[in-house]
C-alpha cells in the first residue's frame, strides 16, 4: 500500500499537478536512517520553508544498493548521461572531528556512508509501519529514526547541467527516535532487508561528496550537485 494512501485528496492532487509538469517516476527508498529530519515542521533557516528527510546508510546495505539501482534505471528512463548527471545521492560528509580546537570552519570529511536527500514545500504524509496516519503534533521525529521514503524522481537541467531530483511525498516510520530521547514507535512487520536489488546494478554511478550539507553554524557548504526543489 502506498505511503500516501493516508494523505488528503487535495494533497495528492497537489503532488500530481507538480509531477505533471515534467516526466516523473514514483519511487520508494529504504528503510534508511534519517539525519536531521524536518518533518514535523519545515526548515526555514535560509529564508525558504522546506520539509526535509535525508536517508543515510552503508553503501553496501540492501536499501542503498536498491537506491543506486533505482537511480541508474531513472537515468536510462530519462535519457541522461550517467557520467555527467547530478543525483540526490552522495557520499555523506561531516566536520572533521580531528580538526584543531577553535577551528572556525573545519574541513568536511567523508563518513563512508551514502546520503539520499529529499525535500518538499508541501507537508509529506506521515504513517507508521502499518500505514496508519501519524499526527505530526503528537511526536517529534528526530535523527536516527528508521524510515521508508516515498516520492517521485524528475529530470532537470540547471544552467546546462542535467540531474535528477527526488521530491518527497510520504514517510513511513519504522522505528522512531524522538528529539530529545529515544523510543520504539511501532514494530515493522517484516524484515527490513526484504527490499531486493538486482546484482550490482547502479554501483558505477558517479556519486560525488555531499558538499552542500549545512554546517552547525547554518552555512551551506556548496551545491554538491543536488537540485533545490
Query: From CA 92, how far away is CA 115, in angstroms rounded?
Result: 5
pLDDT digits (tens, 9 = 90+) for 99-157: 888 788 888 888 899 999 999 999 999 999 888 999 998 889 999 999 999 999 999 99
The confidence band for 196, taking pLDDT boundaries of 50, 70 and 90, is low
Looking at the DSSP bridge assignments, the partners of residue 32 are 147
pLDDT of the residue at 107:
86
Query: What structural domains does the chain harbor?
Result: 3-194 (2.40.50.140)
pLDDT of the residue at 120:
94
The confidence band for 73, taking pLDDT boundaries of 50, 70 and 90, is very high
Within 8 A by CB and 6+ apart from 47, the residues are none
pLDDT digits (tens, 9 = 90+) for 58-69: 999 999 999 999
What does 24-88 look like in DSSP terms, one character per residue? -EEEEEEEEEEEEEEEEEEE-TTSS-EEEEEEEE-TTSHHHHHHHHHHHHHHHHHT--GGG-B-S
Q: In 125-147, which positions are buried (b, 16+ CB within 10 angstroms) versus exposed (e)?
A: bbbbbeeeebeeeebbbbebbbb
In eight-state DSSP terms, residue 171 is: E
CA angle 140, 132, 151 (to 5 degrees): 75
Matching residue, cell 524536518: 38
Judged by average pLDDT, the poorest of 110-114, 195-199, 212-216 is 212-216
CB-based contact 4:150 (threshold 8 Å): yes
Q: Which residue in 111, 124, 123 sits closest to 59, CA to CA?
A: 111
Mean pLDDT value across the chain: 79
Query: From CA 167, how far away is CA 162, in angstroms rounded?
Result: 16
Amino acid at each position: 500500500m502506498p505511503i500516501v494512501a493516508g494523505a488528503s485528496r487535495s494533497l495528492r492532487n497537489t503532488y500530481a499537478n507538480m509531477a505533471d509538469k515534467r516526466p516523473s517516476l514514483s519511487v520508494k527508498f529504504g528503510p534508511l536512517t534519517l539525519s536531521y529530519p524536518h518533518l514535523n515542521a519545515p526548515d526555514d533557516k535560509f529564508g525558504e520553508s522546506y520539509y526535509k528527510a535525508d536517508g543515510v546508510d552503508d553503501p553496501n546495505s540492501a536499501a542503498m544498493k536498491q537506491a543506486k539501482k533505482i537511480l541508474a534505471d531513472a537515468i536510462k528512463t530519462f535519457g541522461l548521461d550517467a557520467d555527467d548527471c547530478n543525483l540526490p545521492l552522495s557520499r555523506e560528509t561531516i566536520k572533521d572531528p580531528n580538526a584543531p580546537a577553535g577551528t572556525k570552519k573545519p574541513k568536511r570529511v567523508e563518513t563512508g556512508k551514502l546520503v539520499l536527500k529529499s525535500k518538499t514545500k508541501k507537508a509529506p504524509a506521515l504513517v507508521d509501519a502499518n500505514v496508519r496516519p501519524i499526527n505530526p503534533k503528537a511526536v517529534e521525529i528526530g535523527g536516527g529514526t528508521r524510515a521508508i521514503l516515498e516520492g517521485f524522481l524528475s529530470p532537470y537541467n540547471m544552467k546546462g547541467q542535467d540531474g535528477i531530483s527526488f521530491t518527497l511525498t510520504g514517510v513511513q516510520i519504522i522505528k522512531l527516535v524522538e528529539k530529545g530521547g529515544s523510543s520504539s514507535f511501532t514494530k515493522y512487520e517484516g524484515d527490513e532487508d526484504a527490499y531486493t536489488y538486482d546484482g550490482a546494478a547502479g554501483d558505477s554511478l558517479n556519486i560525488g561528496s555531499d558538499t552542500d550539507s549545512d554546517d552547525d553554524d547554518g552555512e551551506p557548504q556548496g551545491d554538491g550537485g543536488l537540485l533545490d526543489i
